[in-house]
Amino acid sequence: MTRTKKQLGRRTGAWWRARRAAARRDAGMTTSEYAMGTIAAAGFATILYKIVTSGSVSGALESVIGKALDAPF
């Protein structure tokens, strides 16, 4: 093995050790982060529901589904 390959191997190994150590330190989300994520997801779901159930979008979806079901095979 050449000197540069050994150096690269050491640097790569050090990088992986640092990544594993960082992953072990991260204990996950806290309760407040879960709460904020839940509130954001509920808000997004509400907005999406309002958009999908609006008249124009509902008509367009019905049209697309109707065309797909009436397609000749």
pLDDT, tens digit, 9 for 90 and up, residues 27-55: 666 788 889 999 999 999 999 999 888 88
- What is the average per-residue pLDDT within 2-31? 71
In whole angstroms, what is the distance from residue 27 CA to residue 62 CA?
46
CB 59 within 8 A of CB 53: no
Band of residue 57 on the pLDDT scale cut at 50, 70, 90: confident
CB 57 within 8 A of CB 51: yes
Q: Running DSSP on this structure, what letter comes out for residue 50?
A: H
Give the model's pLDDT for residue 41.
Answer: 96
Give the model's pLDDT for residue 28.
Answer: 65
Give the model's pLDDT for residue 26.
Answer: 59
- Which position has the higher pLDDT, 17 or 23? 17
Q: What share of the chain is helix, strand, coil (3-state, %, to 5)?
A: 80, 0, 20
